[in-house]
Structure 1
């Protein structure tokens, strides 16, 4: 079986690595060959991290290249689309995916529809609020990162299922024993686009450093985060080669999220990364976070500064609590959020869709 996959970004984007690339060995072992085409390359993502403005000419060239790929339908058995084919273009362009008459699997792990529907620009809301519906209505199946996204997709696609964003637990694993010596490190890993969710918590993290010595280590926040520096904040550039080691170097993982329509569609990937490495977590009770975090078992849910402070102080002070919660989180990831648990489901889906042509 041959699959033509269309992603928004290349491998430097977590969405491409976690929703497609990490599954390739399992798909290939089942006789499913995947040829993937990214719209925007790694240079585009690197520029965003560095705070650089994308080149309009380069972006236009990327769109034209994708247009050519779809106007000459790929030689494949199944088409796989992540997110959308042409961001900020009307729905008619998404319909090009069906030109060759191949069955299509649509995948998403963020509430991309909400970004259009909640846009402050009235023209965007009116013209693009329903732009993803043609892909969903025409798809043979839709895979969603969480229940919130499934509830949206199921309105248009009958065969809609949740495939959570997962990690390879052979790579993401706990590193050594928690000995409780010295102040722990509170950690966060993400991207410049999600750093905005962390900013409201920075004054509290600064206070905790002064009171307890606990440092805050932020991985992947981007160049703009330099303006947020305080004593006790360590800003670390993200790299694919180093991301696992960076998470393993943390003692507590955090995921603050604003309670907004787009954020409710987040798939909790940070929490999965932390838990796979045996870390206890503290997260906002938004979206799938409430499903991943069991209060007092593998972490805490914190609604306001008072709850964040209480949860972090408990974990800072108690190494054994961190260890117990980290072990519980690791078990959850192995059972439900691991590559080993989800790859067979994806293989079966591709085989089923191809067979129903």
Structure 2
């Protein structure tokens, strides 16, 4: 089976790497070969006949291009790991909203199947008439392992530069925790140094493919999120990285993240303000709590988000057809 994948970004773009590129070996073993071409600017419609299916990753192509994809391919799939049709932090202008909504509805109508990384995205696509199946985010548990951690406690945050604003919002609470626990190390893993003042921390620069080497040094992982429409649909890959690495999580149970982190079961859920101080104080003073949450997080990861399990669902979706149901699988049009 030959698949044309119209990608959202390059090999170091998180959504492209985690949604499709990391599955190449498994797909090849199942007899599925993939060609990867950037979605933006794709115009080689004559080549579509060489493929058994086209997978459009996240990009909202024009209605004209989507129509040509639909006419030229046997099977058209769309994959989304966030609400790409919303603008982070603010609403689109009126005309942009109209254009984006028109494109999204056209994709929903044209695709044989839309793959959504979480229930928030699935509901949004289904509301526009799409046939949807849940395909959770995944990591390779063989890579994201849980080695013995150093004795000195490390509280860490890992994320992209544009998400540093989430960490900045809780900086006053982090300063208070640091005042109470001056011996604790704080580590920020990011493509840029945030330049925090009046807060002692170490910065670990992002290097593609080495995230697991940094995250597994954490004892406690921070996952602060604001509650807004775009963030509710974000797929919490960082939560999975923490879970897979047996890192105890303190996080905001917002939207899709709330599907994964469960208060007192596999994480401490924090709704803002001084709750961050309380949660971190508990995690830093109670080793048994840290270990219990870390072990539960790893179990949660293995049950739902380990790559071999999700790969099986991806293979079924690519081969199709998928029959909708009303449970945790595909949603109906």
Deviation at 1:130, TM superposition (A): 3.2
Secondary structure in 2 matching 1:176: coil
- After superposition, the Cα gap between the structure-2 partners of 1:254 and 1:73, relative to the gap in structure 1 and judged at 3 Å, is same
Which residue, 55, 75, 88 being the options, matches 1:103?
75
| Residue of structure 2 in register with 1:14 after alignment | 14
- After superposition, the Cα gap between the structure-2 partners of 1:127 and 1:314, relative to the gap in structure 1 and judged at 3 Å, is same
Contact 1:141–1:159 (CA under 8 A) maintained in structure 2? yes
Q: State the distance in 1 between where 2:176 and 2:122 align.
A: 40
| Residue of structure 2 in register with 1:52 after alignment | none
Which residue, 325, 328, 349 being the options, matches 2:296?
328
Moved more, 91-100 or 287-296: 91-100
Secondary structure in 1 matching 2:42: helix
Contact 1:8–1:83 (CA under 8 A) maintained in structure 2? yes
Is 1:121 paired with 2:93? yes
Higher helix share: 1
Q: State the distance in 2 between where 1:201 and 1:91 align.
A: 42
Q: State the distance in 2 between where 1:120 and 1:348 align.
A: 36
Deviation at 1:83, TM superposition (A): 0.6
Structure 1 residue runs of 4 or more that deviate by more than 6 Å after TM superposition: none
Moved more, 213-222 or 113-122: 113-122
Is 1:80 paired with 2:52? no
Which structure 2 segments of 5+ residues have no match?
323-333
Q: State the distance in 2 between where 1:80 and 1:288 align.
A: 23
Q: State the distance in 2 between where 1:100 and 1:92 align.
A: 12
CA RMSD of aligned residues (A): 2.1
Once the two structures are superposed, residues 270-299 of structure 1 have per-residue CA deviations (whole angstroms, 9 ceiling, x without a partner) of 100000000110111201222211211211
| Residue of structure 2 in register with 1:2 after alignment | 2
Deviation at 1:199, TM superposition (A): 1.3
| Residue of structure 2 in register with 1:167 after alignment | 139
Which structure 1 segments of 5+ residues have no match?
40-62
Q: State the distance in 1 between where 2:116 and 2:6 align.
A: 16
Deviation at 1:235, TM superposition (A): 2.1
Contact 1:80–1:105 (CA under 8 A) maintained in structure 2? yes
| Residue of structure 1 in register with 2:176 after alignment | 207
Deviation at 1:158, TM superposition (A): 4.8
Deviation at 1:30, TM superposition (A): 0.8
Which residue, 263, 267, 283 being the options, matches 2:251?
283
Contact 2:176–2:277 (CA under 8 A) maintained in structure 1? no
Secondary structure in 2 matching 1:305: coil
Contact 1:205–1:216 (CA under 8 A) maintained in structure 2? no
Q: State the distance in 1 between where 2:60 and 2:37 align.
A: 10
Is 1:234 paired with 2:202? yes
Alignment length (residue pairs): 321
- After superposition, the Cα gap between the structure-2 partners of 1:143 and 1:212, relative to the gap in structure 1 and judged at 3 Å, is same
Alignment of 1:197-346 (within 5 A): 197-213=166-182, 214-222=184-192, 225-226=194-195, 228-346=196-314
